[in-house]
């Protein structure tokens, strides 16, 4: 099974399996926690909640698992290869455990939730299995494991949002941060394991979200990304106190004009014109929408249980173009879903022509146990056909991405400096409003966290290159 991804979003492929650490000189810290994260941004945000919960019981994070007392792997189940990656990593930790039998190994996140206690049978080295809604129980579970008992808590909750927990920012650039605004998903797309691993959808109290964003701004952060599997169905309160996603976006934008606001993911069935008008109204809400289409064919969309049609999706694209001219749009696309014909695959390619995505994450369909598709449909598109269709989708997207970047060449764009470029400490990197990565020579007049205008002179397939505009 192969996945192609454009590595133009820093959080994506490059971050998979990243060890997350903070500088913690807390004198009471006696034990060391190593935590490695896989999957979506929400999982990375959860690792920050885990670090926060455990810092209260004296754990400091480390980026070297060989010196850790506890090794956590925060896992993803979205596709089979995501799970394989975790299993490979676990066998490496197993070698460490042989040397150091006191080492506690814990599996967190979606794979823990999917496999539950079965994990303990399948992977003997694992001591602790904890699902995404049970992290408050970690201190107790670790205490049990310390006494040599295997510990499992995979209870899902209808209420847990960790609203009161202030995440410890791990591996932070100090400029951009993620804020979870809701958990779970109620959508039941037929291919997707998330409703089973994350449970029912629930929104987080807007006051706690705004408080977290305000605190980040005070600490020098200049961009927050509001996270949920389907942010457009965010809702809190009744009557006059009711807050929907447009309202939450507005409240976040009003914190300060220098605080950029991003969000992900938008569901095509739920994104409203009200949300689009709110984005258009505030300069600091970024003109960038991740709107996964999955397929461009109506029969496949129905089998996927996405609950929108190709025409509906096109109408949403039209609305974005009309209300927010110049807005960047990205997508997720699945190649070779159950029974997909060649013509239906062509519909996906023509949908891409219509939408002209700035980026897309493209995947070949991977059957997930327990999902609607696994129970009711046959995974009957041969592997080589999936790969070929995926390659066609990927190639078109590479061309489209490049075309979208070329449109910025010769223009000046506003960039939030996030830090030094990955390749050179003589260059800064940051993103423009439309989420395109920009690199440019440093200047001693500006620093990370500042906004600058950059004249774009050229681009590669994933990056804009330019120089800072004087004054």
Annotated binding site: 40, 76, 110, 185, 189, 192
Burial (Cβ within 10 Å: 0-12, 13-18, ≥19) of residue 66: exposed
What span, in angstroms and rounded, lies between the C-alpha atoms of 429 and 224?
Answer: 17
Tell which one of 363, 394, 408, 440 touches ligand SAH (CB under 6 A): 363
What span, in angstroms and rounded, lies between the C-alpha atoms of 137 and 157?
Answer: 13
Asked whether position 229 contacts ligand SAH by CB under 6 A, the answer is yes
Site track for ligand F3S across 189-228, x = CB under 6 A: ----xx--xx------------------------------
Peptide bond into 101 cis (omega under 30): no
Specify the residue for token string 């605190």: 215
The site for ligand F3S, by CB under 6 A, has a size of 13
Site track for ligand SF4 across 244-283, x = CB under 6 A: -----------------------x----------------
What span, in angstroms and rounded, lies between the C-alpha atoms of 385 and 364?
Answer: 10
Provide, rounded to whole angstroms, the least separation between the CB of residue 311 and ligand SAH: 19
60 binds, among ligand SF4, ligand F3S, ligand SAH, none (CB under 5 to 8 A by kind): none
Q: Which parts of 160-189 interact with ligand SF4 (CB under 6 A)? A: 185, 187-189
What span, in angstroms and rounded, lies between the C-alpha atoms of 129 and 392?
Answer: 40
What span, in angstroms and rounded, lies between the C-alpha atoms of 225 and 414?
Answer: 18
| Radius of gyration over every alpha carbon of the chain, rounded to an integer in angstroms | 22
Tell which one of 110, 138, 227, 404 touches ligand F3S (CB under 6 A): 110
Which of these, 457, 452, 453, 413, lies nearest to 436 by C-alpha position? 413
Asked whether position 230 contacts ligand SF4 by CB under 6 A, the answer is yes
For residue 397, what is the DSSP state? H
Tell which one of 194, 289, 352, 415 touches ligand SF4 (CB under 6 A): 194
DSSP of 162-209: -TT------S--SSEEEEE-EE------TT--HHHHH-S-EEPPHHHH
110 binds, among ligand SF4, ligand SAH, ligand F3S, none (CB under 5 to 8 A by kind): ligand F3S
Asked whether position 229 contacts ligand SF4 by CB under 6 A, the answer is yes
The site for ligand SF4, by CB under 6 A, has a size of 10
For residue 285, what is the DSSP state? B
368 binds, among ligand F3S, ligand SAH, ligand SF4, none (CB under 5 to 8 A by kind): ligand SAH
Which residue ranges make up the site for ligand SF4 (CB under 6 A)? Answer: 185, 187-189, 192, 194-195, 229-230, 267
Residues that bind ligand SAH (CB under 6 A): 78-79, 191-192, 194, 229-230, 265, 267, 292, 294, 332, 334, 363, 365-366, 368
């Amino acid at each position: 099974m192969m996945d192609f991804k454009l590595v133009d979003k820093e959080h994506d492929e490059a971050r998979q399996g990243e060890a997350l650490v903070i500088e913690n000189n807390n004198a009471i810290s006696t034990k060391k926690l190593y935590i490695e994260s896989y999957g979506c941004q929400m999982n990375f945000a959860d690792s920050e909640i885990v670090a926060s919960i455990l810092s209260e019981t004296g754990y400091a994070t480390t980026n070297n698992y060989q010196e850790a007392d506890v090794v956590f792997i925060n896992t993803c189940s979205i596709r089979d290869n995501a799970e394989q990656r975790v299993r490979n990593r676990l066998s490496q930790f197993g070698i460490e455990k042989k040397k150091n039998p006191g080492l506690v190994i814990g599996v967190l996140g979606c794979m823990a939730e999917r496999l539950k206690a079965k994990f303990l049978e399948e992977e003997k080295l694992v001591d602790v299995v904890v699902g995404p809604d049970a992290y408050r129980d970690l201190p107790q579970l670790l205490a049990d494991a310390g006494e040599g008992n295997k510990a499992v808590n995979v209870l899902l909750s209808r209420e847990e949002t960790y609203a009161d927990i202030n995440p410890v920012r791990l591996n932070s650039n100090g400029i951009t941060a993620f804020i979870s605004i809701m958990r779970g998903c109620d959508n039941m797309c037929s291919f997707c394991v998330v409703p089973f691993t994350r449970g029912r959808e629930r929104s987080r109290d807007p006051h706690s979200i705004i408080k977290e964003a305000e605190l980040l701004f005070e600490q020098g952060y200049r961009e927050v990304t509001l996270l949920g599997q389907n942010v457009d169905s965010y809702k809190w309160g009744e009557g006059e106190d009711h807050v929907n996603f447009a309202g939450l976006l507005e409240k976040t934008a009003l914190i300060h004009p220098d605080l950029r606001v991003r969000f992900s993911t938008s569901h095509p069935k739920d994104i409203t014109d009200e949300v689009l008008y709110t984005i258009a109204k505030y300069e600091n809400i970024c003109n960038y929408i991740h709107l996964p289409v999955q397929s461009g064919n109506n029969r496949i969309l129905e089998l996927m249980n996405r609950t929108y049609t190709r025409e509906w999706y096109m109408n949403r694209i039209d609305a974005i173009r009309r209300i927010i001219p110049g807005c960047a749009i990205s997508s997720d696309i699945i190649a070779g879903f159950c029974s997909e014909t060649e013509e239906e695959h062509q519909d996906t390619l023509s949908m891409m022509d219509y939408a002209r995505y700035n980026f897309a994450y493209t995947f070949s369909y991977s059957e997930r146990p327990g999902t609607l598709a696994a129970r009711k449909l046959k995974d009957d598109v041969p592997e080589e056909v999936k790969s070929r269709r995926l390659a066609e989708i990927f190639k078109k997207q590479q061309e489209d991405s490049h075309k979208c970047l070329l449109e910025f060449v010769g223009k000046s764009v506003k960039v939030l400096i996030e830090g030094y470029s990955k390749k050179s400490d003589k260059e800064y990197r940051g993103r423009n409003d439309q989420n395109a990565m920009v690199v440019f020579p440093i200047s001693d007049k500006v620093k990370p966290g500042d906004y600058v205008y950059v004249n774009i002179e050229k681009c590669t397939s994933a990056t804009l290159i330019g120089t800072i505009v004087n004054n």
